[in-house]
Chain A
Amino acid sequence: MMESGPLTGPVPTDGSADGTHPRPAELSGVPAKPNPADGEIGGTFWRRFTFRRPLAALILQRLGLSVGLLFAVSLMISGGIEALPGDFATTYLGQSATPQAVENIRKDLGLDKPWTERYLSWLGGAVQGDFGTSWASKNSVGEQIGKRLGNSLFLAFFAALISVPLAVGLGMLAVQFRNRLPDKIINVVSLAAISLPEFFVGYLLIMFFAVKYGIATFPATVYDSMSFTERLSAIALPVATLVLVVLAHMMRMTRAAILNVMSSAYVETAELKGLSAFRIIAKHAAPNAVAPVINVIALNLAYLVVGVVVVEVVFVYPGMGQYMVDAVTVRDMPVVQACGLIFAAFYIFLNMAADILAIIANPRLRHPR
């Protein structure tokens, strides 16, 4: 009889699976609307617009695409949770669950309604900024996430503050000493850092700095009552881990981008104009190396927010990642949905910002013929 719980779970899922079939059509309509460049409808107006203001058109296109992507992500999260075996009621009640109790909880939370209906009502709330209440703690999801997001951003901000200038600086240093000893050392060390999984780096740091020498705090849990400096010392180790993980990628891209530009004919022209080395790098090389560097920085910033799950768990840091992992284990739908959506939003909008910056950095798009 116990088996029928998980068995009946998937049944409504199958039923609503039919409902998903017309959905992709509706979904594909969403990104198509702000992006009619390849559609026939309104083609002439859009074509004229892209011709006259290509920059504005591109940015509009990216914005529309991002919104569409967010919808797609929310659908996928929702569908993904639906596909997991078991639901909140069975995991919450555990082994002692009677069919009646399970049924009651399902009814309370509306789990008996079809999936499409639940998704739409959640979407309706989310669009207005209401992410519902957590099933497990009965608290407002928005409120809880607010604090945790703050913690995660605090961590990401300091990791970025250290890693971005360090990566760009090391990249330039590597260019300056290309193929000489400093370049090789930077390369080997960064390669080692990127090759080790982040949880391993985290545990290594804990072992040395917290256990052996005792100069760092562990766990890195932060409380409301902590002062700013206490918080800083608490996050030292997770920040160090994150920096090590993202540094290599950014450093190598910076090096490659600048090297690429330094070998171009226009840098030779600048050299033959008798300009100073600094002016050549700052005025002639840098503006052309910006686009690829921005792209990889944005990707890594997004990773700092989204990819910290493992690091937060290792260091017992009360951020979004840990919150989401906890929610997934109990199938706390509203929390998972909200966390997933926020992560996706960060990822998408950071990438979009990078795209737009790269577009702005390109004179061909800024100044059409």
Chain B
Amino acid sequence: MPEMLSVKNLKIEATSYPPGEPPKVVTLVEGVSFDVEKGKVLGLIGESGAGKSTIGLSALAYGRGGVRITGGQVLLDGKDILTLDKNGIRSIRGARVCYVAQSAAAAFNPAHRLGDQVIEASVRHGIMSREEAKKRALYLFRVLGLPNPETFGDRYPHQVSGGQLQRAMTAMALCPNPELIVFDEPTTALDVTTQIDVLAAIKHAIEETHTAALYITHDLAVVAQISDDIMVLRHGKTVEYGTTKQVIEAPREDYTRALVSVRQTKRDEAADQTGAQLKIEHVSAGYANGFKVLHDVSMHLPKGQTLAIVGESGSGKSTLARVITGLLPPTEGRISFEGKELPRALKGRSNDELRRIQMIYQMADTAMNPRQTVRDIVGRPLSFYFGMHGQKKSERVKELLDQIEMGSRFLDRYPAELSGGQKQRVAIARALAAKPELILCDEPTSALDPLVAEGILNLLLKLQEETAVSYVFITHDIAIVRAIADSVAVMHRGRLVRFGPKSKVLSPPFDDYTDLLLKSVPEMEIGWLERVLKTRRMESAGN
């Protein structure tokens, strides 16, 4: 079969402007070659900065910002699109090659109806008439399993859910009958329970329309479900390129092997879970407008152990963390710590009560002052809680940096000069500086690449052994729960669905929601998607 897309020896560069230095040219992608046949899917996988999206966009002869394609060939059906002029490129984009963005919520124009946006490219390129395009859109809405396909196109982007938007974007890409579609992390921003439905819809639509596709993701387990071939990328270069079966089951390179085995850390739970350092009893909470977010939630956490709270977005897990910290006083119920009831609101708590409970956030860079150095960030709680200063404070900061495995050479760096993983480590050091007895971790690894996330989890486990600190770990990722938790609380729509020791919560018999949640976590196994869709009991509603 002839190649639909053939990329040969691609080189992509960008000019960066570091402050106070002359501009320099950075090579983003070098020497990348691959082929995609009609009706086949190639998965591009790698961590952030690996050049996946940049390569994907090169199939549309497009570079974001100052990104330029400086070498190689991009052959679409045998013709190099890089040699085309502006109009030639325009006639390919949206007609022969289409793009599905990571965040459909941002990629749809809020000012126009979904239907108009879905058919726009087909009509503008003269591929079909308005009526024909509408018919095709309706057909695609059906194929993708969107609710009320007849009227779906009349809606505006803000009127439908994130999962529906992502499917509508897929419909938009499929509408002009393109020869190639570039999927750029189409399920990354979705909940696991939604992701599985969108994944199934995309797979079904590709099979139905025989288009060729590039599927970009950082999740090897996801790409294993959908692609025929896989290319592993790192720092803009090819690490490994082969069939899905070969890459998943017999990876040749160490880096690929690390990616394949990344989610396999497991830890046994603590045997004795009777104590209760933190006790949450019948807590309800809501916002001032009367919207109730938490309904009668009770759980407890023994000293030195980890309680994982799992659930999808909107389940109330982050709200529960806000209630524990006192940022959002509960409307009912009580929270006690070390046998003493905590004042409901932040204002009523003493400095020492505040010190004992610290927090780590999902977005480490927004939780740090960009104008302060690591020394200031980590040193602040030392002077605030313990009145340390000068030499003593400086020593302690260095000690803390050693504890998070970074060392004193980072002392005078600003957050912008750190990588994502390093920022999260500094945030952990800041929390540790207060000598807390409990750290609330609100999805601290979900914005990180899998290998980096693994490093953070191992660090947290090591710190727990050294300092006997307890964790409340909020996550939507069951694999993380398996890796670190002693006890687990499953939340759904503001209610506690299931609570107990990890071994009990994660083994059958399941309630319907826990069953859905567990089955939605992609596994590194070919054919997992089909198997799960057949056996699950509950559909993820409304997505």
Task: Take A269-B101, A364-B158 as given contacts and tell me if A274 and B94 are in contact as well, using a CB distance cutoff of 8 Å.
Answer: yes
CA gap between A222 and B159 in the complex, in Å? 56
Set of chain A residues within 8 Å of B95, measured between Cβ atoms: 274
Q: B111's contact among A276, A279, A287, A369, by CB below 8 Å, is which?
A: A287
Q: B109's contact among A269, A361, A367, by CB below 8 Å, is which?
A: A269
Set of chain A residues within 8 Å of B103, measured between Cβ atoms: 265
Quick check: A272 and B62 within 8 Å, CB to CB?
A: yes
Q: B110's contact among A266, A279, A283, by CB below 8 Å, is which?
A: A266
Q: How does the 8 Å CB contact mask read for A261-276 relative to B, with 1 for contact and 0 for none?
A: 0001110111111111
For the A-B complex with A284-B112, A367-B156 known, give 17 more contacts whose Cβ atoms are closer than 8 Å: A266-B108, A272-B60, A272-B62, A272-B99, A274-B90, A274-B94, A275-B94, A275-B121, A283-B112, A287-B109, A288-B109, A288-B110, A288-B111, A361-B111, A363-B111, A363-B156, A363-B158
Chosen A-B contacts, 29 in total, with CB atoms closer than 8 Å, are A264-B106, A265-B103, A265-B106, A265-B107, A266-B108, A266-B109, A268-B101, A268-B107, A269-B99, A269-B101, A269-B107, A269-B108, A270-B109, A271-B62, A271-B93, A272-B93, A272-B94, A272-B98, A273-B94, A274-B90, A274-B91, A274-B93, A274-B94, A274-B95, A279-B124, A363-B110, A363-B111, A367-B158, A367-B159
Task: Take A265-B101, A271-B62 as given contacts and tell me if A364 and B110 are in contact as well, using a CB distance cutoff of 8 Å.
Answer: yes
Set of chain B residues within 8 Å of A266, measured between Cβ atoms: 106-110
Nearest chain B CB to A296's CB is how many angstroms away?
19
CA gap between A272 and B110 in the complex, in Å? 17
Quick check: A273 and B124 within 8 Å, CB to CB?
A: yes
Nearest chain A CB to B99's CB is how many angstroms away?
5
Nearest chain A CB to B165's CB is how many angstroms away?
12
CA gap between A275 and B120 in the complex, in Å? 9
- For window 96-137 of B, CB contacts with A under 8 Å fall at 98-99, 101, 103, 106-112, 120-121, 124-125
Set of chain A residues within 8 Å of B506, measured between Cβ atoms: none
Q: B92: CB under 8 A from chain A? A: yes
CA gap between A271 and B109 in the complex, in Å? 12
- For window 343-369 of A, CB contacts with B under 8 Å fall at 361, 363-364, 367, 369
Set of chain A residues within 8 Å of B98, measured between Cβ atoms: 272-273
A interface secondary structure, majority: helix
CA gap between A10 and B204 in the complex, in Å? 85
Q: How does the 8 Å CB contact mask read for A103-124 relative to B, with 1 for contact and 0 for none?
A: 0000000000000000000000
Nearest-CB residue, chain A, relative to B110? A363
Quick check: A284 and B121 within 8 Å, CB to CB?
A: no
- For window 315-369 of A, CB contacts with B under 8 Å fall at 361, 363-364, 367, 369
Nearest-CB residue, chain A, relative to B157? A363
Nearest chain A CB to B117's CB is how many angstroms away?
8
Q: How does the 8 Å CB contact mask read for B148-176 relative to A, with 1 for contact and 0 for none?
A: 00000001101100000000000000000
- For window 268-310 of A, CB contacts with B under 8 Å fall at 268-276, 279, 283-284, 287-288
Set of chain A residues within 8 Å of B89, measured between Cβ atoms: 274
Set of chain A residues within 8 Å of B121, measured between Cβ atoms: 273-275
CA gap between A369 and B164 in the complex, in Å? 14
A contact residues, range: 20 to 34
Query: What are the 5 closest A-B residue pairs judged by CB atoms, nearest first?
Result: A274-B93, A273-B94, A265-B106, A274-B94, A287-B111
CA gap between A273 and B159 in the complex, in Å? 23
CA gap between A273 and B107 in the complex, in Å? 12
B contact residues, range: 20 to 34
For A264, A274, A279, the residue with the greatest tally of chain B CB atoms inside 10 Å of its CB is: A274
Quick check: B109 and A273 within 8 Å, CB to CB?
A: no
Nearest chain B CB to A205's CB is how many angstroms away?
41
Set of chain B residues within 8 Å of A265, measured between Cβ atoms: 101, 103, 106-107
Set of chain A residues within 8 Å of B109, measured between Cβ atoms: 266, 269-270, 284, 287-288
Nearest-CB residue, chain B, relative to A364? B158
CA gap between A264 and B107 in the complex, in Å? 8
Set of chain A residues within 8 Å of B62, measured between Cβ atoms: 271-272
CA gap between A361 and B120 in the complex, in Å? 21
Set of chain B residues within 8 Å of A363, measured between Cβ atoms: 110-111, 156, 158
Set of chain B residues within 8 Å of A270, measured between Cβ atoms: 109
Nearest chain A CB to B157's CB is how many angstroms away?
8
For A265, A269, A283, A364, the residue with the greatest tally of chain B CB atoms inside 10 Å of its CB is: A269
Set of chain B residues within 8 Å of A268, measured between Cβ atoms: 64, 101, 107
Set of chain A residues within 8 Å of B60, measured between Cβ atoms: 272
Set of chain B residues within 8 Å of A279, measured between Cβ atoms: 124
- For window 149-173 of A, CB contacts with B under 8 Å fall at none
Nearest chain B CB to A177's CB is how many angstroms away?
17
Nearest-CB residue, chain B, relative to A361? B111
Set of chain A residues within 8 Å of B90, measured between Cβ atoms: 274-276
Quick check: B159 and A369 within 8 Å, CB to CB?
A: yes
Nearest chain B CB to A26's CB is how many angstroms away?
29
CA gap between A367 and B98 in the complex, in Å? 29
Nearest-CB residue, chain A, relative to B109? A266
Set of chain A residues within 8 Å of B155, measured between Cβ atoms: 367
Set of chain B residues within 8 Å of A269, measured between Cβ atoms: 99, 101, 107-109
Q: B125's contact among A264, A274, A361, A364, by CB below 8 Å, is which?
A: A274
Nearest-CB residue, chain A, relative to B116? A283
CA gap between A276 and B124 in the complex, in Å? 9
Nearest chain A CB to B409's CB is how many angstroms away?
36
CA gap between A151 and B57 in the complex, in Å? 59
Q: How does the 8 Å CB contact mask read for B223-253 relative to A, with 1 for contact and 0 for none?
A: 0000000000000000000000000000000
Quick check: A275 and B124 within 8 Å, CB to CB?
A: yes
CA gap between A274 and B94 in the complex, in Å? 5
Nearest chain A CB to B271's CB is how many angstroms away?
49
Nearest chain A CB to B124's CB is how many angstroms away?
6
Nearest chain A CB to B183's CB is how many angstroms away?
13
For A265, A271, A279, A287, the residue with the greatest tally of chain B CB atoms inside 10 Å of its CB is: A265
CA gap between A87 and B62 in the complex, in Å? 73
CA gap between A266 and B172 in the complex, in Å? 13
Nearest-CB residue, chain B, relative to A264? B106
Nearest chain B CB to A246's CB is how many angstroms away?
27
Nearest-CB residue, chain B, relative to A367? B156
Nearest-CB residue, chain B, relative to A272? B99
Set of chain A residues within 8 Å of B93, measured between Cβ atoms: 271-274
Nearest chain A CB to B266's CB is how many angstroms away?
38
Set of chain A residues within 8 Å of B124, measured between Cβ atoms: 273-275, 279
Set of chain A residues within 8 Å of B91, measured between Cβ atoms: 274
CA gap between A271 and B101 in the complex, in Å? 13
Q: How does the 8 Å CB contact mask read for A44-80 relative to B, with 1 for contact and 0 for none?
A: 0000000000000000000000000000000000000
Q: How does the 8 Å CB contact mask read for B184-196 relative to A, with 1 for contact and 0 for none?
A: 0000000000000
CA gap between A269 and B57 in the complex, in Å? 12
Nearest chain B CB to A41's CB is how many angstroms away?
17
Set of chain B residues within 8 Å of A274, measured between Cβ atoms: 89-95, 121, 124-125
Set of chain A residues within 8 Å of B57, measured between Cβ atoms: 272
CA gap between A264 and B94 in the complex, in Å? 18
CA gap between A363 and B156 in the complex, in Å? 8
CA gap between A276 and B94 in the complex, in Å? 12
Set of chain A residues within 8 Å of B108, measured between Cβ atoms: 266, 269
